[in-house]
Structure 1
Amino acid sequence: MHQSFLQYVLDDLLKKEVAIESLTFVLPSKRSGTFLKKHISNILIKNSFSPKILAIEDFVEDISGITSASSIDLLIQLYTVYKSSKIEVHDDFYTFLKWGQTLLQDFNEIDRYLIPSKDILNYLSAIKEINHWSLKNEKTELIQKYLQFWNSLESLYNSFTTSLLNQKKGYQGLIYRKANENLVDYCKTNKNDSLVFVGFNALNSAESNIIQYFLEHTNSQIYWDIDSYFLDDAIHEAGLFIRNYKRQWPYYSVRNLTGVHNSFLSPKSISITGVPKSISQAKYVGEILKGIKSESPTGFKNTALVLADESLLNPILQAIPNEINEVNITMGLPLNKTVLYSFFLSFLELNIASTEKGWFYKDVLEFLSNPYSISISASQQVDFAKVIPKDIKETNRLYLNHNNLSKYTGAKQVLEIIFPPKAISSVQWIDNCLLLIQSLKKIFDVEENPQELESLYRFYTLFNQLKTHLNAIDLKPGLKSVKSLFKQLATMETLDFIGEPLSGLQIMGMLESRNLDFETVILTSVNEGVLPSGKSNNSFIPFDVKREYGLPTYKEKDAIYTYHFYRLIQRAKNVHIIYNTEPDVLEGGEKSRLISQLLTDDSISKYVTHHIASPQVKISPSPIAEISKSPLLLKDIESFADNGFSPTSLTNYIRNPLEFYKKNILKVNDVTEVEETIAANTFGTIVHDSLEELYLPLINKVLTLENTADLATKTPEVVKTHFYKNLPGVDILKGKFLLVYNVIVKYLQNFIAQEIKQLEKHEIKILGLEEKLVVQLNMPELAFPIKLKGTLDRVDQIDGVTRIIDYKTGKVEPRNVKITDWEELVLNYDKSKAFQLLCYAFLYSKKHDANPLHAGIYSFKNLSQGFLPFYSNGVNIDHDTLNTFESYLKRIILEICNSSIPFTEKKM
């Protein structure tokens, strides 16, 4: 590899015979300071004190005499000042959080670029005055308030900065502005300091001023890390800023830039690879690292893995091969990317969503399924994370309240923290979080799990920080405001890794790579919207105003990323650039323009290769699933046959033999779910059970107008009873269940009304309700007994003819119960209703002598069609019909019991 930039700087200083230990180095970041120290230790011959090495922000803070305040501290200060301003109506803290952060960023930019706040903020309010959306001369109250806010920005800025300066605190921009004001005095006090500014690129106006002042007034110098290829090209974005300084700084009217070199066009290998999706990128990186390891055991001494999208850190850590035992992670893992964050966020949302009814079951289930909830639960006498979801599902409980929780006495204390008896304040919620942290700490202490304990400690400090801020002010924000603050803090705070900073594989973000050079560079997520990050409109200052006042826009931001990108690869020998070929809308777009620039640049393209790495996709026809009948399975079929085939099980077989195998033989039932809207089978059960209870007193009686007169009035109460029996946790007095309840009542009352109307012309006698019948089938082909069983919803006599009735809550058409071709009965699932009716008729005829026999369906979805009778070729059910049906019934059963015919999936 070429000589690294930091080595070059030190060599040049030695050539100039400067005493390195007497210098103060100012660098863009602390990270590069660590590497600079290493290089200095390599060149010093005798023992000496290390020179002073400062990051630019610490250096500027030193000049300003004020310290940096945390983001949350600044927000609370700004809100306090805003509340005491002369604006007539103030937003509450929750609403303020939505715009306060953006305003802070704008104040920061204005100060970093040394723009007189009075000018730009008044200009902004004048623009709002011109642009307001009302066409009327008289401004409405809403517009007056809107404009009043913009007119008050300057006084808000003044009050805010004054209150901060009184506490000797500031945000970055204010510190920079203050440092500019202190420059002359600082230089007088420290006039003998020799400063070396190393590796800067995009300077704000304050930094530019400060550096120029030191260069002009002290014995200081600056080294730029720039390749002449970018510098000499008038339009190359990577050299944009440094070209401007060369042109504009008076310092360079008689001097040349120091640090310009020619290494970008030297021979190197640049491999560009498109990989689908983020996780595949992580896996592909793992493969590259394996390759490097196999080529040279010490290959990682000079390798950097740079993540343009830092959210890729977690999958990357999972993908690093086990044989790599030295990894240094410079970037922290943001707390909002941890599972523990999701635990606390879920806990907060559980508290926010609490109503007088209790906690909505989905919020409860989500919280209890979190791994940390499961850990806490397992440490209690009652494992509530298992018991509560079971209880919710079994009782169909839409809301969980304290009455339901009171029975879990073995976990009373923890449950009172998770489900507080009364509404709680923000500070109480934080206290509850700290109590949960204590519970988890005990668990992880026993497990001796350092990573979990470190995560807990980070959240412990975060909550204490949050609590301190909330106690320091009289805001008393609600839980929604705390949610915004918590999310913001968790984004800014990181879980830091401890590693050996100078050896092994280096994993870092784009900004941490400043000033550092590596022989092998692996760069991920090189997509538009990630690198460069593209347009973001997180500002109240319009684009044209930014241009006019010299504030940076997304164009300058793009140039910064372009510089970092090219600087990373200019001295490297092996470069692996990876991008996502299938980006989601939120993850940026197509491959980055930086890749296109490399591919189309004739000077470098001979070193560049580009290919797409995607998993090999083979489209092979999916085989039809088959289950062959082993002796064990045949045994199961025998015991099933002995227990009895039901009409539903046989129609399952007609529909799909594999479904019959799963549902009826294996008994794989559907997972129990909470029914927010009623399931079809529950609806049917309530209808059937209600009809049975209503008609039970009338068995073996002839229906008359007298004995059926009160059926309709009894219906609402009967339906209510069966509703609560099937869905004990629901409330039928409101919402969707009230509608369903009324629909069922209406269905039944319509049915009763239709029945009463029939009594004018017909004599109807009820013979049986929900009658369970079992018949032994005579099948000499099989060596084991076969039973057919079924439950008949209702059997009655109409004008002396026996009738079997099946109730269906779904829609049934007359064609579903008519047969023209008997083969259809066993081949077409559409005829399953006819098949079931024939089963019931067959069962009934074996137990009772009834000829002729009618069987049919009442479909509650189309009751207007009345009784839908089964018939085949115009004939109702007679002996011939039943004999024909029996032959088809036996055919199906023999097929099911035949060991050489597998259960084969039937494609629908």
Structure 2
Amino acid sequence: AIHGAAGNLSMIQVAAQLMAQIPQDELEKTAVILADERLLLPLLDAIPENIKHFNVTMGLSLDQLPLSAFIYDIIKLHTEAIEEGYYYKGMINILESSFAHTLLENDSRSLVKFIRDNNLIYIAPSSFDAVSKSAILHMILKPIKNVGELIKIVQTVLQQLKTEMLKQENRRLEIEQLLGVTEVVQNLSTIIDNNEEIKDLKTVAYLYKQLVPLKNLDFIGEPVRGLQIMGLLETRALDYKNTIMLSVNESILPAGKSTASYISNDMKYQFDLPTYSEKDSVYAYHFYRLLHRVEKAAFIYNTEGDTLGGGEKSRFLTQLETDQISKHVLTHKHYIFKNSAIKEDLMVIKKEPSYFERLDQIAASGFSPSALTSYVRNPIDFYASKILRISDMEDVEENIAANTMGSIIHEALDKLYQPYVGKVLIKEDFDTIKNQIKTELDIAYNECYTSDSAPLGKNKIIYEVSSHYIKKMVQSDLELVKNGQELIIKSVERKLEAVIEVPQIGKVKIHGMVDRIDQLDGKLRIIDYKSGATDKGNVGIDPEDFTILREDYKKAKAFQVLMYTYLYSLNDTFTEASAGIISFKNFDKGYIPFAFKAGRSYTEKTIDTTVLEKFELELFALIQELYNKEIHLTEKPV
């Protein structure tokens, strides 16, 4: 029987089904043959429960086992170390390994959490002093001066692992791995001792990578009991009643041309040296010899064409198909995954009493524009973040995120303008402000981005971009003053809050943090800084369609500036004001005010009581919708 399955795991599953069908009395007369020996570990995991005994007569290369990767991670940690310390990703790879858990127990989890909580990009040897007193961890993190010290660290780790594993049960396979890796490290130590010129840590890592695949882990089993698992070469001179062979693909069986020799094929032919065709002949002999006395043979090949030659069954199978031998009864089976269209129903959540309890808490503490617009964007996101208070999983922020960059710019600009609140700005003031930019930017950077290291790489670029945006903002204000306009900063980073009476709901608190309120030639301006791109369409609406503010998230910025102006009107009396966005991403557009759509263009609209009354109706409607039991929280495709 020839079976086609897509992918290695599919082949393993087909083999598992075939193994489960073998009668108990025929198990000893059955062989599972792996043309690709790398499938051994997944096959061992997939052996059905009805097979109690099996014998593995093939080795497994050490480089396929997790312990060799763990030791390589320790070597790599020191290889990639710089003056600031060890890179956090390498450290996390080590700490998340099961072997680290054996050495450090629960410390391994708490150390990973410590790295993430403190945003450690580089870990110094003393970084974990407050969290763990483990001697083995201290030894792994100890800076090394030469390759000999690195070998000693690895040998100590292996010795400690052996001590811990011998105390536990069912760790026989890991102990076998330990013995194999210890031998490799011993060979590595001998090579280094005999070659004084090896002084570079990268050479140690390279040699380790070269030596590990050469060492095989041999399995010990009972050769006359149960199912036999082997490679093709182990089948010579043996007869089986049933055989299951995996990876019967071209380029695996036979392997075909190989470039693992410096002698060209022409030279081999000239001097009668064995070529790849002789090797293919050996495999062909074993393949057909195996079929001599077999009653049932199953050949499984990979149909997935993800590599060159992938998906093509072996020429040996093609020959079986084309040979006119009546004694063979050939069957073909193809295993395919049914791909049915996935219909995702949008999530609908009914409003339970607990929802209203939490909503009342928010109403008491205050609804912010971002909370309300998150509901407009997707009610389920609002439910997760505001009602259930589920925050995104924290990780080490290696590169400054876009929102962190925005926070840095906001913070620096607030501190720069704080001393000049309420004063008519003059040209000389900007000289002082410009001199303070670097100082305030550094303070803001350290406050918003937790890291011991100075800005490096991508962070350095973002730091300089932040500096550029701040300078452009200051220069923009200076130009206004130079042009003879009167600029007064009324407040920066002002928190506005008010309690409003929402019909059918009652008292509800709303609040917001306005980045800047200024007065330009006597005209009040309420300004929000944005680090992302903004255009007029985001801050403008159709004068006949205020309902879009609570229906379309694209108008979230218009909603935000209107809510800030509405809050300001409840705190300070005024007749009219301009409200808008200054976007750092597209700074050339300058101040983008709230506008009304007229045809295809947008015209600035001064916000007066009429506009605020219309906005108030939409605000009330949005809060009423939040409280409406009949309107379920329905997911929006974002």
Normalising TM by the smaller chain, what interval?
over 0.9
Q: Is the 8 A contact 2:304 2:310 kept in 1?
A: no
Counterpart AA for 1:434: Q
1:475–1:744 Cα change, 3 Å? closer
CA displacement at 1:890 relative to structure 2? 1.9
Determine if contact 1:747/1:860 at 8 Å carries over to the other structure. yes
Compute the displacement of 1:666 (Å).
2.4
Q: Quick one: which amino acid aligns to residue 441 of structure 1?
A: K
Q: Residue in 2 aligned with 1:651?
A: 373
Given that 1:530 and 1:587 are in contact with CA atoms closer than 8 Å, whether structure 2 keeps it comes out as no
Letter in 1 for 2:105: A
Residue 488 (structure 1) aligns with: 210
Residues 597 and 640 of structure 1: is their aligned pair in 2 closer, same or farther, counting only changes over 3 Å? farther
Match of 1:446 in 2: 167
d(CA) in 2 for partners of 1:453, 1:541: 40
Amino acid at match of 1:769: V
Q: Percent identity?
A: 36
Give 1:401 deviation, angstroms.
2.2
Aligned match for 2:559, one of 832, 835, 844: 835
Q: Does 1:535 align with 2:262?
A: no
Aligned to 1:773: 496
Distance 1:734 1:433, change over 3 A: closer
2:11 matches 1:278:
no
Partners of 1:558 and 1:590 in 2: CA distance: 17
Q: C-alpha displacement at 1:451, in angstroms?
A: 2.4
Measured on the aligned residues, the alpha-carbon RMSD in Å equals: 2.2
- Cα distance, 1:838 vs. partner? 0.9
Q: C-alpha offsets along residues 723-750 of structure 1, whole Å, 9 cap, x if unaligned?
A: 1222242644653333322222221122
Contact kept in structure 1, 2:400 and 2:449, CA below 8 Å: no
**Equivalent-residue separation in structure 2 for 1:335 and 1:774 (angstroms):** 65
5 Å matches for 1:449-468? 449-468=171-190
Q: What is the CA distance between 1:611 and its match in structure 2?
A: 1.3
- Residue correspondence of structure 1 range 472-483 to structure 2 within 5 A: 472-476=194-198, 478-483=200-205
1:558–1:605 Cα change, 3 Å? farther
Of the candidates 549, 563, 567, which is equivalent to residue 289 of structure 2? Answer: 567
- The answer for the alignment partner of 1:598 in structure 2 is 320
CA distance in 2, matches of 1:424, 1:564: 50
Call closer, same or farther: CA 1:452–1:644 in 2, change over 3 Å: same
Unaligned ranges ≥5, structure 2: 598-602
1:825 corresponds to which of 539, 549, 552:
549
Structure 1 unaligned spans of 5+: 1-270
* 3-state SS, counterpart of residue 347 of structure 1: helix
The amino acid of 1:313's aligned partner reads L
1:359-402 deviation per Cα after TM superposition (whole angstroms, max 9, x unaligned): 222222222222212332227xxx2x334444433443332223
Range moving further from structure 2, 757-766 or 506-515? 757-766
Per the alignment, residue 83 of structure 2 pairs with: 356
User: Which residue of structure 2 aligns with residue 807 of structure 1?
Assistant: 529
Does the 8 Å CA contact 1:302/1:519 hold for their aligned counterparts? yes
Contact 1:634/1:899 (CA < 8 Å) preserved in 2? no
How far apart, in 1, do the equivalents of 2:364 and 2:84 lie? 49
For 1:428 and 1:442, how far apart are their aligned partners in 2?
A: 21
Q: Could you tell me whether the CA contact under 8 Å between 1:663 and 1:669 is conserved in 2?
A: yes
1:337 aligns with 2:64: yes
Are 2:99 and 1:376 equivalent residues in the alignment?
no
**8 Å CA contact 1:816, 1:834 repeated in 2:** yes
Partner of 1:626: 348
Q: How does 1:668-817 map to 2 (within 5 A)?
A: 668-729=390-451, 731-732=453-454, 734-759=456-481, 760-782=483-505, 785-817=507-539
Q: Secondary structure at the match of 1:404?
A: coil
Q: Is the 8 A contact 1:647 1:839 kept in 2?
A: yes
Query: How far off its partner does 1:871 sit?
Result: 2.5
SS in 1 for 2:21: helix
Show the counterpart of 2:621. 891
Matched to 1:500, the amino acid is E
Shift of 1:587: 9.0
CA contact (8 A) 1:599 1:605 kept: no
SS state at 1:507 partner: strand
1:855-894 paired onto structure 2 within 5 Å? 855-872=579-596, 874=603, 875-894=605-624
The one-letter code matched in structure 2 to 1:889 is L
User: Relative contact order, CA 8 A, sep 6+: which one is greater?
Assistant: 2
Given that residues 242 and 294 in structure 2 are in contact (C-alpha distance below 8 angstroms), is that contact kept between their aligned partners in structure 1?
Answer: yes
Partner of 2:632: 902
Deviations 1:881-903 (A, max 9, x none): 11111111122222222223222
Q: C-alpha deviations, 1:182-202, integer Å up to 9, x for none?
A: xxxxxxxxxxxxxxxxxxxxx
Deviation at 1:879, TM superposition (A): 1.0
Q: Residue 317 of structure 1: SS of its match in structure 2?
A: helix
Rate the CA distance shift 1:890–1:792 in 2: closer, same or farther, 3 A: same
Distance (whole Å) between structure 2 residues aligned to residue 609 and residue 668 of structure 1: 55
3-state DSSP of counterpart to 2:524: strand
The Cα shift of 1:803 comes to 1.6
Give per-residue Cα distances to partners, 1:434-474, cap 9 Å, x unaligned.
21122222322232232222222222233223323433454
1:630, 1:285 → 2: CA distance? 50
Alignment partner for residue 400 of structure 1, among 123, 135, 141?
123
Letter in 2 for 1:621: K
Question: 1:791 Cα shift?
Answer: 0.7
Contact 1:527–1:589, Cα closer than 8 Å, also in 2: yes
State the Cα deviation string for residues 684-740 of structure 1 (Å, max 9, x = none).
Answer: 000011011111112222222333331011101110111122224264465333332
Residue of structure 1 equivalent to 2:280:
558
Asked whether the equivalents of residues 503 and 620 of structure 2 are also in contact (C-alpha less than 8 Å), the reply is no
Evaluate the alpha carbon distance shift between residue 360 and residue 752 of structure 1 in structure 2; reply closer, same or farther with a 3 A threshold. same
Alignment map for 1:183-582 (pairs within 5 Å): 271-292=1-22, 296-378=23-105, 383=107, 385-408=108-131, 410-411=133-134, 413-425=135-147, 427-448=148-169, 449-476=171-198, 478-582=200-304
Listed one character per residue, the Cα deviations across residues 778-799 of structure 1 (whole Å, up to 9, x for unaligned) are 12323x6432221111112223
> TM-score of the superposition, structure 2-length normalised?
0.93
State the distance in 1 between where 2:404 and 2:266 align: 63
- 2:578 aligns with one of 846, 850, 854: 854
Please state which structure has a larger fraction of its residues in helix.
1
**Residues 1:636 and 1:563: Cα distance change in structure 2 (over 3 Å):** farther
Task: Name the CA distance, whole Å, in 2 between partners of 1:298 and 1:794.
Answer: 84
For the 8 Å contact 2:514–2:564, the answer to whether it is kept is yes
Residue identity in the other structure for 1:667: R
* DSSP-derived class of the 1:304 partner: strand
User: How far apart, CA to CA, are the structure 2 residues paired with 1:564 and 1:588?
Assistant: 23
What is the distance in 1 between the residues matched to 2:327 and 2:570?
Answer: 88
2:367–2:510 Cα contact (<8 Å) kept: yes
- Give the structure-1-normalised TM-score: 0.66
Distance in 2 between the 1:790 and 1:834 partners?
A: 14
> Could you tell me how far apart the structure 2 residues matched to 1:513 and 1:634 are?
71
Alignment size in residue pairs? 628
Q: What is the alpha-carbon distance in structure 2 between the residues aligned to residue 880 and residue 737 of structure 1?
A: 46
Distance 1:676 1:489, change over 3 A: same
Give a deviation string over 1:280-329, Cα, whole Å, max 9, x none: 2112211111111xxx3222020000001111011101100122111101
- 8 Å Cα contact 2:539/2:592 also seen in 1: yes
Higher mean Cα deviation, 522-531 or 472-481? Answer: 472-481
